[in-house]
Chain A
Amino acid sequence: MGLAGFLIRRLLEAIPTLFGLLVLIFLIARVIPGDPVRLALGPEATQEQIEAFRRELGLDHPLWLQFVTYLQDLSRGEFGISLRTHRSVSEDLRELVPATLELVGSALLLSVAFGLPAGILSAVYRNSWIDASVRLAAVSGVALPRFWVGILLQIFLAYRLGLFPIIGRSDPGISLPQLTGFRAVDALLVGNMPAFLDAVWHLALPAFTLALPTIAQVARLVRASMIEVLGQQYILVHKAYGLPPRRIIYRFALRNALTSTLTLIGLSFGALIENAFLVEVVFSWPGISAYGAQAVLAKDFNAVVAVTLVIGLAFLVANLVVDLLYGLLDPRVRYD
């Protein structure tokens, strides 16, 4: 069937799901008891003010008309006005999405950078103290509530020892042009080393906190799949050819481990985005997840819709990419 056909088929399959998601989110957001318009105007608002704003937002139309308008707006990338910020939600998102992506991206990098070696070491030195400590760390890592870990790291590394900034994304004295929206990348692009270091320094704790459970998962997975392969190959080849060079076996095992790891990373992407808000709240990181959480609490439906959609889309894309990569890496999979 081939790669192109596979992609097209998956995309087509995704469309009704996306539509269903849109309906679901619309229903959740709109069919709720209450009146968040009142909040948006400040508690002193008079009835007159409220009516005016409601008309402005089109909330006095019948539900089906609202849904049609909603779809029309979405198709143009229009998410409406946020009740909380009084600005267009797309504008809010444009500022916030890069911040969260930067955080999640860094967390993914850290997951691989720490998890992969840990898992390999653990498998290679199986049943040694290295293995035991990695396994212990892995079991604990998965169990850690992210918000708690973040707070602890903040207290010890940031407050007490002053090694890292306590909150935020950057020092206010440093300004950077908005090229990609990723401060570290932008800093490199304009050759501003102090800004780059500042960005990375601010990223360190939040990204690490977010990555911790994923690092643990990656380590466990890598260890398990390497052991599985090592177990099989070693016995077979040992029987047939005598002791082969270790390197070949490890490369084989590593390849298998990488496949599963990639799958895990892809699946984790969605999980990391949704868990990002706990980290964003603790570290005051100005990202989309914290924005979404606040939108929920403020009943800002336009924002809730937008954030849920963005997360859902990210999740879908991540799954698609994972399936693709899985197929590419594992020749046993055929696209049918």
Chain B
Amino acid sequence: MTKETPASTSRARFVRRFLQNPLSLVGAMIVGGVIVLALFAPWIAPYPEDAGASVHFDRALQPPNSAHWFGTDEVGRDIFTRVLFAARPALVFVVVVLALALGIGVPTGLVAGYRPDSILGRVILRVTDIFLAVPPLALALAFTVALQPNLLTAMVAVSFAWWPWYTRLVYGEVLRIRKEPFVEAAVALGQKDSLIMLRHILPNVVSPVLVKATLDVSFIILLGSSLSFLGIGAQEPTPDWGAMVARGRLYLPEAWWLTTMPGMAIFVTVIGFNLLGDALRDALDVRQ
């Protein structure tokens, strides 16, 4: 839907629709909660030093109790603290990946959609097709072959696999919008291409991109934690959900809390973003 109605009423409509859906509030609360916990972890967490270089072997592998709500790990660190702190690399991961993916995907989609028959447009589409020919996790994993297994690598690898989806999306939208009368008018009036793209097309592309980005957050979190489960993620002693699940496996089935708690955190965060994304999509009334 192109913005022909005054901005204030469409915004009001959006807010109303958003609030009508009970699950949207749940989603917003979870997401908000995760962000708050990530930001304020050093002050909220009971044993903040356990997120860094600290070992206490005398209290290793304790089950959940009043002193340690999620128990302790094999070197005695408080798991609740580490789960809280691990929200940080997870969120940073999401932000960086989205920034990179959007940063590459949106402009390329714009160019390809605006001038699909140009050489540049065709090249972009062809390259996009190639990247899309492989599922993102496989592509991201293949990409890490060349680099050190750490958080930066994981972020770059996932962005590398993710940007084509935005190119495709934006391309489709731009193709559609280009045929709208007000764009045709601008072209006829002799406005510069770059101006048209920025002023008329880009604003109308924002909605679907925003919805997709929010829905993508959960995929990106799952992708990131899968990579760090395999060892391509934040290094010790930085807490990281996927890595914690992987390391905890050695102590199964007795010390189940090492694996279960971080996994639960991933689960809850992803649900939150899913609910929020769904609610956003319904509220913006955008058909995917």
Contacts and interface: CB of A to CB of B under 8 A. Distances in A.
A–B contact, 8 Å CB criterion (strictly below): yes
Interface of A: 16-18, 20-21, 24-25, 28-29, 31-33, 139-140, 142-148, 151-152, 154-155, 159-160, 270-271, 273-275, 278, 281, 292-293, 296-297, 299, 301, 304, 307-308, 311-312, 315-316
Nearest to A36: B145
B144 interface: yes
Interface of B: 23, 126-127, 129-131, 133-139, 141-146, 149, 218, 222, 225-226, 229-231, 242, 245-246, 249, 252-253, 256, 259-260, 263, 266-267, 270-271, 274-275
6 contacts: A28-B145, A148-B260, A148-B266, A151-B263, A155-B253, A297-B149
A144 B267 contact: yes
A32 B222 CA distance: 27
A140 B266 CA distance: 11
A142 B260 CA distance: 18
Contacts of A142: 218, 270, 274
Given A18-B133, A20-B127, A308-B134, 12 more contacts: A142-B270, A144-B267, A145-B225, A145-B263, A145-B267, A148-B259, A148-B266, A151-B249, A154-B252, A160-B253, A274-B135, A312-B134
A138 B52 CA distance: 37
B263 A152 contact: yes
Nearest to A311: B138
B135 A311 contact: yes
B245 A24 contact: no
A96 B230 CA distance: 20
A271 B259 contact: no
B142 A155 contact: no
B230 A148 contact: no
B133 A312 contact: yes
A140 B218 CA distance: 12
Contacts of A296: 141-142, 144-145
A292 B274 CA distance: 30
A143 B274 CA distance: 8
B252 to A, nearest CB: 6
Contacts of A307: 138
Given A145-B226, A151-B245, A278-B229, A17 B263 contact: no
Nearest to B139: A308
A308 to B, nearest CB: 5
A304 B126 contact: no
B135 A270 contact: yes
| Interface SS of B by simple majority | helix
Contacts of B126: 16-17, 20
Contacts of B225: 145
A144 B144 CA distance: 24
A297 to B, nearest CB: 7
Contacts of B135: 270-271, 273-274, 311, 315
B135 to A, nearest CB: 4
Contacts of A24: 130-131
Given A143-B267, A315-B133, A308 B245 contact: no
Contact of B270 (A143, A154, A293): A143
Contact of A274 (B137, B146, B246): B137
A20 B130 contact: yes
Contacts of B231: 297
A16 B249 CA distance: 44
Given A16-B126, A17-B130, A21-B133, A147 B253 contact: no
Contacts of A299: 145
A307 to B, nearest CB: 8
B30 to A, nearest CB: 11
Nearest first, the 3 closest Cβ-Cβ pairs linking A and B are A148-B263, A20-B130, A143-B270
Given A151-B252, A155-B253, A301-B145, A145 B129 contact: no
A147 B267 CA distance: 11
Contacts of A18: 133
A141 to B, nearest CB: 10
Given A17-B133, A274-B137, A155 B256 contact: yes
A301 B129 CA distance: 23
Nearest to B149: A297
Contacts of B139: 308
A17 B133 CA distance: 8
Contacts of B242: 145, 147
